[in-house]
């Protein structure tokens, strides 16, 4: 068979297994020899790929029915730029292959629909991303898929909730609102013992700080919009799977028409090059801010997985390689109008729905919960994303904001 003219597979895109992640991030998804020596893979803006003769066309048509086929047939199935991003993320995380998606939510929806069908039951962590919860509550019932929410710290106790038709356990570690750190290996053991799959939203830790597949995960999903892109300028998602599931998931998401543009894939690859440097800065600054908040009289609790007081901290110490810039804190009870005053007084912490970029963000959280955590103090919950600004300026901004609160809050 004639080989595809462009291929993402080469010795350059498979770094030495002895290389550390910082080195791998610099080289994953690159193949200068196949692209005129370009240090970055070009942006292939092409919906159509032309075959040189009818025999090649026939080979492509035959092979194109195989979801594992790596040649480029049509833009909806990907191109050299998107394939390079998929491979880079998968190799960093330790999965088989990746599937680029147009957003993190698309990755969630596509991955769930790829493995669950009418009549199936899924177990979902109660601290999950609230837009994902809307999918589980409002979309999946129309497909005949039933959802049960479990307390995030239940661990192996989920065994009591598994039914004969339970197909999937969906986890998020830590939860993106209240930051409990789930015991992923424990969830994997129970799920697999009952013939179910374990899916993880690994956006917070990224493939750099949590190696999902070495902890028993079958499908890992990422809102690459966040830390992987890192510059708040692209919507992007990615699904990474085991070899056993890749063909099934790829077939489903491509039949549904999911794909992201080569331009956004390029921005994802650009973000990967600096992921390690950025995350370590986010980590240092966020820990400094979290420890400072712990000393403030206005604050009832800080929810940061790297701090001993956070639910699941022991699991974090055991399984994670680092922390990132997103965490929560609880203000002692105050009227809602004062919470608004606090938010609007901040200058560096802007109110925004996303996180993972270079900028610091804050928003008040009112997460929907079936199982409210007794480990979270009463009060008003806020989520901070600590960006790349000077930490001294960030602390000064928070201090002047907290000074708008009344003195009873400080007692």
DSSP states of 366-388 as a string? Answer: ----SS--TTSPSSEEEEEE--S
What does the pLDDT read at residue 354?
93
User: Which pLDDT band, with edges at 50, 70 and 90, does 136 fall under?
Assistant: very high
User: In the predicted model, is pLDDT for residue 2 greater than 50?
Assistant: no
In order of their start, the domains of the chain are 11-273 (3.40.640.10), 275-410 (3.90.1150.10)
User: In the predicted model, is pLDDT for residue 407 greater than 80?
Assistant: no
User: In the predicted model, is pLDDT for residue 387 greater than 90?
Assistant: yes
Catalytic residue, candidates 22, 45, 66, 76: 76
What does the pLDDT read at residue 14?
56
- Residue 129 annotated to the active site: yes
What does the pLDDT read at residue 411?
47
What does the pLDDT read at residue 4?
40
Q: In what order do the strands lie in the sheet with 299-303?
A: 299-303, 326-331, 380-385, 361-365, 350-351
Please state the φ and ψ torsions of residue 236, each to the nearest 5 degrees. -160, 145
pLDDT digits (tens, 9 = 90+) for 11-58: 344 567 788 988 998 988 988 888 888 888 999 999 998 888 888 777
What does the pLDDT read at residue 220?
98
pLDDT digits (tens, 9 = 90+) for 53-111: 888 777 777 766 666 677 788 889 899 999 999 999 999 999 999 999 999 999 999 99
Q: Across-strand partners of 237?
A: 101
What does the pLDDT read at residue 68?
67
Nearest CA-CA partner of 375 in 164, 67, 80, 152: 152
Tokens of 150: 């479990």
32-41, 123-132, 267-276: least confident range = 32-41
Instruction: Read off the pTM.
Output: 0.92
Whole-number Å distance between alpha carbons of 116 and 21: 33
Q: What is the arithmetic mean of pLDDT over 122-138?
A: 95
Catalytic residue, candidates 226, 254, 273, 296: 226
Tell me the Cα Rg of the chain.
22
Strand, coil or helix: 106 = helix
Q: Across-strand partners of 351?
A: 362
- Residue 44 annotated to the active site: no
251 exposure class (CB count in 10 Å sphere: 0-12, 13-18, 19+):
middle
Catalytic residue, candidates 31, 120, 201, 319: 201
Higher-pLDDT residue of 33, 190: 190
Please state the φ and ψ torsions of residue 364, each to the nearest 5 degrees. -80, 140
Tokens of 226: 């966040």
Q: What is the arithmetic mean of pLDDT over 167-194?
A: 96
Higher-pLDDT residue of 168, 15: 168
What does the pLDDT read at residue 51?
81
Nearest CA-CA partner of 260 in 215, 222, 206: 222
User: In the predicted model, is pLDDT for residue 3 greater than 50?
Assistant: no
Whole-number Å distance between alpha carbons of 206 and 221: 10
What does the pLDDT read at residue 409?
53
Q: What is the arithmetic mean of pLDDT over 237-263?
A: 96
Catalytic residue, candidates 129, 149, 258, 266: 129
């Amino acid at each position: 068979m004639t080989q595809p003219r462009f291929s993402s597979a080469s010795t350059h895109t498979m770094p030495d297994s002895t290389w550390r992640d910082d080195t791998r991030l610099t080289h994953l998804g690159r193949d200068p020899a196949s692209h005129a020596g370009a240090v970055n893979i070009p942006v292939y803006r092409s919906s159509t790929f032309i075959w040189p003769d009818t025999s090649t066309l026939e080979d492509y048509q035959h092979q194109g029915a195989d979801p594992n086929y790596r040649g480029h047939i049509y833009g909806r199935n990907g191109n050299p730029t998107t394939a390079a991003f998929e491979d880079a993320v998968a190799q960093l995380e330790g999965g088989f292959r990746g599937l680029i998606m147009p957003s993190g939510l698309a990755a969630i929806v596509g991955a769930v629909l790829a493995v669950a069908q009418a009549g199936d039951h899924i177990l979902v962590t109660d601290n999950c991303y609230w837009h994902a919860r809307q999918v589980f509550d409002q979309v999946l019932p129309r497909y005949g898929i039933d959802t049960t929410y479990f307390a995030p710290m239940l661990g192996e106790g989920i065994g009591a909730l598994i039914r004969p038709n339970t197909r999937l356990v969906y986890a998020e570690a830590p939860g993106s609102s209240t930051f409990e750190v789930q015991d992923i290996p424990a969830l994997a053991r129970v799920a697999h013992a009952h013939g179910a799959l374990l899916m993880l939203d690994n956006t917070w830790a990224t493939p750099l700080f949590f190696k999902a597949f070495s902890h028993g995960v079958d499908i890992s999903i990422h809102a690459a919009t966040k830390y992987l892109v890192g510059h708040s300028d692209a919507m992007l998602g990615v699904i990474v799977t085991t070899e056993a599931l890749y063909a099934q998931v790829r077939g489903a998401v491509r039949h549904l028409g999911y794909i992201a543009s080569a331009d956004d894939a390029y921005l994802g690859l650009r973000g990967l090059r600096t992921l390690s440097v950025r995350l370590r800065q986010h980590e240092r600054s966020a820990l400094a801010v979290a420890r400072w908040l712990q000393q403030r009289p206005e604050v009832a609790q800080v929810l940061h997985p790297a701090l001993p007081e956070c639910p699941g901290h022991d699991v974090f110490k055991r399984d994670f390689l680092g922390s990132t810039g997103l965490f929560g804190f609880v203000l002692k009870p105050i009227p809602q109008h004062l919470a608004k005053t606090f938010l609007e007084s901040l200058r560096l912490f802007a109110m925004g729905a996303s996180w993972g970029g270079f900028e610091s963000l804050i928003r008040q959280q009112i997460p929907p919960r079936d199982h409210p955590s007794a480990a979270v103090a009463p009060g008003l919950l806020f989520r901070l994303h600590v960006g790349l600004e000077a930490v001294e300026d960030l602390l000064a901004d928070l201090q002047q904001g907290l000074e708008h609160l009344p003195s009873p809050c400080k007692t």
